[in-house]
Every structure is written in structure tokens, then in C-alpha cells.
Structure 1
Amino acid sequence: MSTLAYSLEHEPATGRERDRRAVRVWLYAVALVVFALVLVGGATRLTESGLSITEWKPIHGVIPPLSTAEWQEEFELYKKIPQYEQINRGMSLDGFKTIYWWEWSHRLLARGVGFVFALPLVVFWLSGRLEPFLKPRLVGLLGLGGLQGAIGWWMVASGLAERTEVSQYRLATHLTIACIIFAATLWVARGLVPRPAAGRAPGLSRRLALGIVALTLVQIYLGGLVAGLRAGLIYNTWPLMDGALVPSGLLSIEPVWRNFFESHLTVQFVHRCGAYLLLTVTFVHALLLWRAAPRTREAGGAMILAIAVLAQAGIGVATLLMVVPIDLALMHQAGGLIVLATAVIHARSLYGGYPAAVVERAASGGSGKAWQRSRAP
């Protein structure tokens, strides 16, 4: 093989893999920051700190109060909302600072995610290190991040006028969008790992794996409703709920659909049922894949996923029985993200990595690159 042919066939491939590895590491870092952001958001909610900052200042809000006068100004703004009037009347300035720092940290991390994502994206893009099929995926993630910032303020605004807490609808939406961003980031990153082409796992297993990802996101949404309603503070028994496996009064609110979003009893019951369903599906999936492809990495991944869901269910039961202590509640939220990450990585492995890109040069000797595009999830 001539030196020119070797250069054309091997050097671009080496450069491509190096670029993919750099993009993959960057996306894993983004996912890690999103993970931290969701946990800090959970702590902010559990400490009832989310309404301590009553204005949306995307730029100026990076700087916290720096003097006693500025702290007092922020405190006076907080005193005007119902949460202070009805729950925290008489709170000291030091007490206000505690809840303020939680919310400020949450917003700072949210801005940090944008910085960690957007700046490297520009660098990778301008340096030509992104394959064309990656660009719309990454721009979509950036757009979701911007939307999430607006949803965050939309959520906070729901608790500033007539309520003492944010709307459970908006809280669950905010949490779920964050988890979708987390999952999508991992999906794209995992697709850049060199692996055999798709097709090793049966089609049913691949569909079940995607279904588990979807069920996990639904379960996280239901958990957001439980958190928003503080429904975990009641019916603290298991496996019975209000003295029965299927408690009475599940559909007592009219119209019926409101029970699934506004009834403490129904929302917690549906969340429990979602856990049972997710646990059943993950173990069925693991057994099917183990029978179809025993002692393979994919079968092992399915079993790890099932064990992760079982552990998360155990943490959920403990959190409920102990009436939602903050440490267990945060562990349960972290467990949900770990289950989601495990489900995404497992499902992505069943579909194989993104197709290898091919660098072509024109027969006339041109040096322009043309990336071969293939349909890829």
C-alpha cells in the first residue's frame, strides 16, 4: 500500500476517533454537572428555599448580595410573597440567608451547565471536530437547556403571588425536562463509544430497553408530582396504603383527571404502581435478554439495570416509611438519576454506536472533507 493510500485510509480515522473521544468526555462532564444540578435542586425544594429569590436576573443574578443593605433589600422582597406571610413570618435575616444560598447555588449551577455546554460546543464546531450528524443533536440539547431555564422561572413564578409553594405541575415539568436533557446527553455520548454494529440484541429487547427509559422518565415525573404535593408526608405505610392494597377514594375529585395530578392519595398510589411496573419490566427484560444472549455484556447490563431499579425501590420505601428525611429523599432522587443513566447506557449499547464516518477526497486531488451520513439513533 502506498504512503498516500495509507494516509487517506488511516490518518482520518485516527483523527476521527480522537475527536469522538474528546466530544464524548465533554458530554459526560456536562451530564455530571446536570446530575449535580438536579440534586441541588432537590435540596432546594426539600429546604423550602426555592422562592427565596423573587426576581429573574439571568446576568446580574450571578452576583449575590455583598453588603448588609443588599441582603436587607433581598429580604424585603421575600417578605412580600405569601410563603413569608403564611409560613416564615418572623424569620431572621440569617435564616433568610440560609434559604437564599440554596436557591442561588441552584441557579449558579444552572448557568454553569450552559457555560460548560455552550463554550466547548463553539470550539468543537469552529475547529471542525464535529461530524455533521452530531450538530443538530447538540444544537437540540442547547435549545432544551435554554427552554429549561425559562421553565425554571415559570415554576418559581407560580409560588410568588397566591401560593406558598410552586405548582406541582410546573415542578414535575421542570424536573422531567432536566432528566430528559441528562438522558439525551448520555445517549449521544454513549453513541460515540466504539462498539460492534447494532443487531446483536433481539428487536424485542431493544424495544423493551427503550421502553424502560421512557418508563423511568414517567416515574420521575410522577415523583415530581409527589414532591410538589408533599404527598410523601402522608400514607407512610407499605405495602398497604391507608390500610389497603388499593385504597378507597382514589377518584374522589371531579373532574376525574385532576386526581392524577392534585390528589395526594392518587398521586402517591400511581407513583407506587409505576415503581412496581418498572421493576417488573426491567426483570422481564433482563431474563429475556439473558436467555437470548447469555453471558454477554448486554445481558449483564440488563441485570445491573434490574438490580439498580430494585435498590431504588428499596430506597423509596425507606424514604416513605421514615417520612421523607432529607438525606434519604436526596438519595432517592440521586437513585432515580442513576437508574435513568443505567437505562440509557444499556439501551444505547443494544443499538450499537454511531456509524463510522468516512473521509473522502475527490479523485481530482481536492482536499475537502465529505462525511458519509447514515441513519443513526
Structure 2
Amino acid sequence: MMRFGRNDQSRAAAVWLFVTALLVFAMVVVGGMTRLTGSGLSITEWKPIMGALPPMSEADWLTAFDKYKTIPQYAQINADMTLAGFKSIFWWEWAHRLLGRLIGVVFAVPFLVLVLLRRLPRRLIVRCLILLALGGLQGLIGWWMVSSGLSERVDVAPERLATHLGLALLIFMGLIWTGLEAWFGEEHSRPPAGWSRGAALLLGGVFFQCLLGGLVAGAKAGFIYTDWPMMNGAIGPAVDWGRGALAFLHDQALVQFNHRIWAYVLLIAGTAYAIQAFRWRLAEGLGAAAFALAAALWLQALLGIVTLVHAVPLALGGLHQAGAVIVLAIATLNLWLVRRSQARLFMSGPRFGR
């Protein structure tokens, strides 16, 4: 049995954190499918406990359907929907919320057990408590997002969807990072400043691109300008600037344009990072992570193009969202490896950014 202060590793805690990260990954993908199928507003109430059970009788289904009929999405878009059609969108949203509840249980119960058994390194307890608090906050933000589409809109507000996605991804990164810390223990060496900055910028860039993708999803901007590399034959789209700064959040053309441009920036930065890693012959793990990140960025960009030109079919849209989370995971691992590397590995060559 591990004693606090004597052993800084816990493989059991690491496995628990990685399993939770996999569940968050699944939830993000299911959330994307929920959006693509137009299912996100099918459950019009937030019942964290009682809502875990779906309708159990035909009368319950009719009651849930009647509640859906009161929101603008039904009146303006799905007025001809049957009960069978409602059930098909209901199950996507219900599965998404069920995954959220499952993640809460999978995280909270083992956390308490590991703490009681002294199998969780003391330095990671606060981090895990923060992750637990963020998970609870995510539930509130999820309802805040859904509520934006229940009265005046026919869908959720794009900025709220991006916020919901962004917090899920922050939790995902935190789980991976903390899991690595639990598996390998604490590293006391000083990370190389140059490469650490470069890896951190890449991770931040990938995260920002995911947020831009959330805005694209929220604004349904992937269904317009489905040609590439041009946008309806032009380099840039016509933007309605009458909304002012809100155009960056709501204008479909500008939102998609920003997502495209930032993808190009990431491709250039990720490729340059991998080339520098090759030139300076970094440690095997670091070099492999750099090349894996560059390759993932290119594959994700190609998948994004294919998804766009096919007007975001369900399968490709889901794969593109899953790919974004995988790229984020690789970028997180890359930064962790860089920060954990021994300074001696960089003594024989130039340093990034110098």
C-alpha cells in the first residue's frame, strides 16, 4: 500500500484517470453526433437525478413530446415530426446526458476510494478535486447552452456551444496530464524553456481551433461554402458586419473562414515544429511525439476538407470531431513529454526559439 510522501506514483490512479478521459472522449463525439442529428433540444428539462431514466411508457413519451412541441424548433423546423421521429432524436440527447452522469460516477467514486486507501499521491488530490468541480460546472454549462434554444432560437447559441465544448476539452486535457503524472511520478528536473514554449503554443493553438470548430458547429457554418480551397469561387466570403463584433461568433461565412485560416496556421506551425525536432535530433520520445502531432494535424485537415465538400454528412462530421480530440490528446502528450525531458537532452544542440 502506498504511503503519502513515500511514493509519488500510482498506476491504479493513472488507469482510472485514463479511463475517465476515454469516457470524456466518447461524450464529446456523442455530443457532436447529437448536434448533427439536431437532437440537442429534444429534452427540454434539466433533471440531473430523475432525468437519468428515459420515458417508460407510451404516456411518458407523449408527455415528453408535448413538451418538445412548445419550443420554437418544433414549430419552425419539425412541425411535421411524428412520435417515432421524436424518439430518434430523444435517444441521442439522452445518451449524451447519460454519459455525463456516468463520467461523474466513474470519476467521483474511485476518487474517494483511492483517497481512503492512500493510493492517490497527495500532490494530485487538489488537481483531482479541481477536475471534479469542473465536471459539475460542465453540467451547469450544458444546461445553460440548451436553455438558449428553448425560447427564442431554433438552436443553441454558438458561443455557448463553444464554451460547453471548450470546458469538456479542458477536462479531457487535465485528465490525460494528471494520469501521466500519476503513472510516472513527479519530475524535478527543469524543463527546457524554448521547446516548452513551442509545445505549449501548439497545444494552445489546437485548443483554439477546437473552439473555432465549436462556433462552426453552433452556427451550422459547415453547410455553406462547401467548395475548397476557394469559398464560392472567392478567396474570402462576404461577411455581414452589421452585427459588429458578434459577427465573429454568429456570421456563418466569417466563422468558417476563421476555422480554415487557423487550420493553415496550425499546419505550418506543426510542420515546422516537427522539422526542427528532426534537425536537432531530439530524444526519441520527443521526436516521435512531434512527428505524430504534425501527421495528426495533416490528417485532420484533410478530413476536414472531405467533410466540408460533402456538406458534413453524419459519419464524416463525427469522425472530424473525434479527430480533433485525438489531435488535442497528442498535443497534450507532446507538451508533457517536453516538460518532463531532462535538460541534458538539449545540451548537444540549439534550443527551440533561440
TM-score (norm 2): 0.91
- Rounded Cα–Cα distance in structure 2 between residues aligned with 1:17 and 1:345: 23
Q: Distance in 2 between matches of 1:128 and 1:295?
A: 34
Q: Which amino acid aligns with 2:280?
A: A
Name stretches of at least 5 consecutive residues in structure 2 with no aligned partner. 342-354
Residue in 2 that maps onto 1:372: none
Corresponding residue for residue 324 of structure 2: 336
Deviation at 1:172, TM superposition (A): 0.8
Selected match of 1:286 from 247, 251, 274: 274
Matched residue type, 1:239:
P
Give yes or no for the alignment of 1:212 onto 2:202.
yes
- TM-superposed deviation, 1:294: 4.1
* 1:191–1:352 Cα contact (<8 Å) kept: no
Residue 350 of structure 1: how far off its partner (Å) = 1.1
Q: Say which of 171, 174, 178 aligns to 2:168.
A: 178
Q: Give the 5 Å matches for 1:97-246.
A: 97-194=87-184, 197=187, 202-245=192-235
How many Å apart are 1:288 and its aligned residue?
A: 1.8
Name the structure 2 match of 1:5: none
Cα-Cα RMSD: 2.1
* Structure 2 counterpart SS, 1:193: helix
After alignment, is 252-261 or 299-308 more displaced? 252-261
1:298 has 2:286 as partner: yes
Name the larger-Rg structure.
1
Alpha-carbon distance in structure 1 between the residues aligned to 2:55 and 2:196? 51
Aligned to 1:96: 86
Tell me the amino acid that sits aligned with residue 298 of structure 1: L
* Deviation readout 1:334-375 (Å, 9 max, x if unpaired): 00000000110111011118xxxxxxxxxxxxxxxxxxxxxx
Structure 1 residue aligned with 2:51: 61
Instruction: Kindly provide the CA deviation profile for residues 25-58 of structure 1, in whole angstroms up to 9, marking residues without a partner as x.
Output: 0000000000111111111111101111100011
* Matching residue of 1:37: 27
1:267 has 2:255 as partner:
yes
Identical amino acids, percent of aligned pairs: 46
Work out the CA distance in 2 between the residues paired with 1:53 and 1:17.
47
Aligned residues: 341
Q: Give the unaligned 5+ runs of structure 1.
A: 1-10, 354-377
Matched, 1:310 2:298: yes
Q: TM-score, normalised by structure 1?
A: 0.86
Q: Would the alpha carbon gap of residues 89 and 198 (structure 1) be closer, same or farther in structure 2, given more than 3 Å must change? A: same
Kept in 1, the 8 Å contact 2:285–2:337? The answer is no
Q: After superposition, what is the alpha-carbon deviation per residue over 1:63-113, rounded to whole angstroms, capped at 9, x for unaligned?
A: 111111111111111111111111111211111111111111110000000
In structure 2, distance between residues paired with 1:124 and 1:286: 39
| Alignment check: 8 A CA contact 2:274 2:290 kept | yes
Map of 2:238 onto structure 1? 249
* Separation of aligned partners in 2, 1:18 and 1:111: 30
Question: What are the superposed Cα offsets for residues 211-269 of structure 1, whole Å, 9 maximum, x if unpaired?
Answer: 11111111011001101111111111111123222x2534x413532221111111101
Deviation at 1:289, TM superposition (A): 2.2
SS of residue in 1 equivalent to 2:95: helix
Structure-1 separation of matches of 2:184 and 2:145: 40
Tell me if structure 2 keeps the 8 A contact 1:155–1:167. yes
- Change in Cα spacing, 1:248 to 1:104, as seen in structure 2 (3 Å) is closer
Could you tell me how far apart the structure 2 residues matched to 1:349 and 1:122 are?
A: 29
Q: Secondary structure at the match of 1:88?
A: coil
Alpha-carbon separation, structure 2, partners of 1:13 and 1:56: 42
Q: Secondary structure at the match of 2:70?
A: coil
For residue 244 of structure 1, give the secondary structure of its aligned residue in structure 2.
Answer: coil
**Which letter does structure 2 place at the counterpart of 1:232?**
G
Residue in structure 2 matching 1:25, options 6, 15, 19: 15
C-alpha contact (below 8 Å) 1:201/1:293 kept by paired residues: no
Counterpart AA for 2:124: L
Q: Is the 8 A contact 1:35 1:337 kept in 2?
A: yes
Whole-angstrom CA distance in 1 between matches of 2:322 and 2:42 = 24
What is the aligned partner in structure 1 of residue 350 from structure 2? none
Q: Residues 221 and 255 of structure 2 are in contact (CA less than 8 Å); yes or no, is this contact kept in structure 1? A: yes
Give yes or no for contact 1:205–1:289 (8 Å, CA) kept in 2: no
Query: How many angstroms does 1:321 deviate by?
Result: 0.6
Give the AA of the match of 1:327: A
